[in-house]
């Protein structure tokens, strides 16, 4: 066979396989469907959004990995995880792992391969000048929660029980909403404290509230949140998944190094997430940086995280499982190997971390 014929045969074969890109053509991007547990796109989820295309105002981390990531929202972690379990999305950013563990317990094809928070996010807060110094001091008091369907209900009852109280008799839970509504209720003294997650508390703090944070030893041991993916998608799209995790790892480093810059990028991508109310952009950025820092406190220092961004220590999972089981959030314990894996962390961290640090420091 002449050389020209050999070349034509090879080209034909590559075209059939779809691996040859002709001049002027662009290689097809691999698609990922990501659902956030909110429709408001708060800045605390910006590790998922700042990697979107530069044409949308993002940093292009997904494009660098050859990915086309579509971001949608849902009404809470449980709703988002059900969407992933049904195969209608590939991954979800979870604000807590109770929904994941409950889903695995029920046989849903779910697993967490990447964590973005290793410390507890749930607290009961009381005004800084309150005489209440511990959970036990809440006996006979009313405690505010966002709604009677929120995680604060479960966590406040669990903390009360660990403190030696009867959660059904010794405390009364009252829905107080979020933001200004919650602040006003607390200021009036209608409730002695409130059970909320980190960023919700921080949003009240930027409105002038100063809090004392209360918790218990068991809740302080739980893993706070991360990525939840459909196991079938993970199995069938391993290469795509690794690229996705790597883009997320880059975003985590960027926002850890320069939180304010990551907020500016997030606002470019999702302008509707920018606070209104007539405050200046400078004040809005200051406020939201405080809120984002509340979430970032759950991440290890960068020098401990380098090369292990997204890593979930196995020793953190059993206390998490025990906490959910002991407090009735799950009906039975499942092997921790069924709810998380670190299999992809090494590959997800195969990038130049110093380059991302420099990009974050020099962002304008």
Query: Is 118 a residue whose pLDDT tops 80?
Result: yes
Domain count, the chain: 2
Residue 170 lies in a domain: yes
pLDDT class for 289, splitting at 50, 70, 90?
very high
Residue 14 lies in a domain: no
Return the pLDDT at 84: 97
Residue 153 lies in a domain: yes
pLDDT class for 364, splitting at 50, 70, 90?
confident
The reply to whether 240 and 345 lie within a common domain is yes
The reply to whether 208 and 258 lie within a common domain is no
Q: What is the pLDDT averaged over residues 292-298?
A: 91
Residue 306 lies in a domain: yes
Q: What SS3 state is found at 23?
A: coil
Identify the CA nearest to 99 among candidates 15, 223, 196.
223
Please identify, among 190, 221, 252, the residue that sits at the C-terminal boundary of a domain: 221
The 10s digit of each residue's pLDDT in 316-363 is 888 888 888 887 778 888 898 999 999 999 999 999 999 999 999 999
Return the pLDDT at 27: 58
Return the pLDDT at 270: 92
The reply to whether 205 and 126 lie within a common domain is yes
The reply to whether 93 and 154 lie within a common domain is no
| Residue-wise DSSP of 237-284 | THHHHHHHHHHHHHHHHHHHH-HHHHHHHHHHH-GGGS--TT--HHHH
The reply to whether 173 and 97 lie within a common domain is no
The reply to whether 235 and 96 lie within a common domain is yes
Q: What is the CATH number of the domain that holds 275?
A: 3.40.190.10
User: Which 8-state DSSP code applies to residue 115?
Assistant: E
Please identify, among 221, 253, 273, the residue that sits at the C-terminal boundary of a domain: 221
Please identify, among 185, 203, 221, the residue that sits at the C-terminal boundary of a domain: 221
Residue 271 lies in a domain: yes
Range of the structural domain that residue 67 is part of: 30-120+223-361
Q: How far is it, in rounded angstroms, from Cα 199 to Cα 214?
A: 15
Query: Is 267 a residue whose pLDDT tops 60?
Result: yes
Residue 19 lies in a domain: no
The reply to whether 305 and 196 lie within a common domain is no
Q: What is the residue-averaged pLDDT of the chain?
A: 89
The reply to whether 258 and 126 lie within a common domain is no
Query: Is 1 a residue whose pLDDT tops 50?
Result: no
Among 79-83, 106-110, 319-323, the range scoring the smallest mean pLDDT is: 319-323
Return the pLDDT at 18: 38
Return the pLDDT at 163: 94
| Residue-wise DSSP of 135-192 | GGGGTTEEEEES-TTSHHHHHHHHHHHHTT--TTTTEEEEE--SHHHHHHHHHHTSSS
The 10s digit of each residue's pLDDT in 141-179 is 999 999 887 878 888 999 999 999 999 999 999 999 988
The reply to whether 265 and 331 lie within a common domain is yes
The reply to whether 104 and 228 lie within a common domain is yes
The reply to whether 79 and 141 lie within a common domain is no
pLDDT class for 20, splitting at 50, 70, 90?
very low
The 10s digit of each residue's pLDDT in 206-254 is 999 999 999 999 888 888 889 999 999 999 999 999 999 999 999 999 9
Return the pLDDT at 168: 93
pLDDT class for 14, splitting at 50, 70, 90?
very low
The reply to whether 91 and 168 lie within a common domain is no
Residue 146 lies in a domain: yes
Query: Is 195 a residue whose pLDDT tops 70?
Result: yes
Return the pLDDT at 99: 83
Alpha-carbon dihedral 268, 273, 274, 275, rounded to 10 degrees: 180
Query: Is 17 a residue whose pLDDT tops 50?
Result: no
């Amino acid at each position: 066979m002449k050389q020209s014929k050999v070349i034509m045969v090879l080209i034909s074969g590559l075209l059939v396989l779809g691996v040859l890109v002709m001049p002027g053509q662009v290689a097809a991007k691999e698609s990922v469907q990501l659902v956030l547990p909110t429709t408001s796109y708060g800045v605390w989820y910006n590790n998922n959004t700042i990697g979107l295309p530069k044409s949308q105002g993002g940093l292009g981390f997904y494009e660098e990995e050859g990915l086309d990531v579509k971001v949608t929202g849902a009404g809470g972690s449980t709703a988002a995880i059900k969407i992933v379990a049904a195969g209608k999305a590939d991954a979800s950013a979870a604000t807590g792992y109770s929904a994941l563990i409950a889903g695995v317990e029920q046989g849903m094809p779910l697993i967490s391969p990447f964590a973005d928070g290793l410390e507890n996010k749930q607290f009961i807060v009381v005004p800084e000048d309150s005489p209440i110094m511990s959970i036990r001091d809440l006996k006979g008091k009313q405690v505010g929660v966002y709604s009677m369907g929120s995680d604060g209900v479960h966590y406040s009852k669990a903390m009360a029980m660990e403190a030696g109280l009867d959660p059904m008799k010794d405390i009364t839970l009252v829905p107080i909403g979020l933001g200004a509504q919650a602040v006003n209720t607390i200021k009036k003294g209608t409730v002695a404290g409130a059970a909320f997650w980190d960023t919700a508390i921080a949003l009240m703090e930027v409105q002038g509230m100063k809090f004392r944070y209360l918790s218990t030893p068991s809740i302080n041991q739980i893993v706070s949140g991360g990525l939840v993916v459909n196991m079938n998608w993970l199995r069938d799209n391993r290469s795509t998944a690794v690229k996705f995790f790597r883009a997320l790892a880059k975003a985590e480093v960027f926002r850890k190094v320069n939180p304010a810059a990551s907020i500016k990028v997030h606002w470019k991508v999702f302008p509707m997430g920018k606070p209104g109310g007539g405050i200046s952009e400078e004040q809005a950025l200051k406020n939201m940086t405080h809120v984002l820092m509340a979430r970032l406190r759950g991440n290890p220092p960068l020098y401990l995280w380098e090369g292990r961004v997204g890593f979930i220590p196995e020793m953190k999972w059993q206390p998490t499982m025990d906490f959910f089981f002991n407090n009735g959030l799950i009906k039975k314990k499942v092997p921790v190997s069924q709810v998380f894996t670190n299999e992809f962390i090494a590959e997800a961290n195969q990038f130049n971390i110093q380059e991302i640090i420099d990009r974050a420091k020099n962002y304008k």
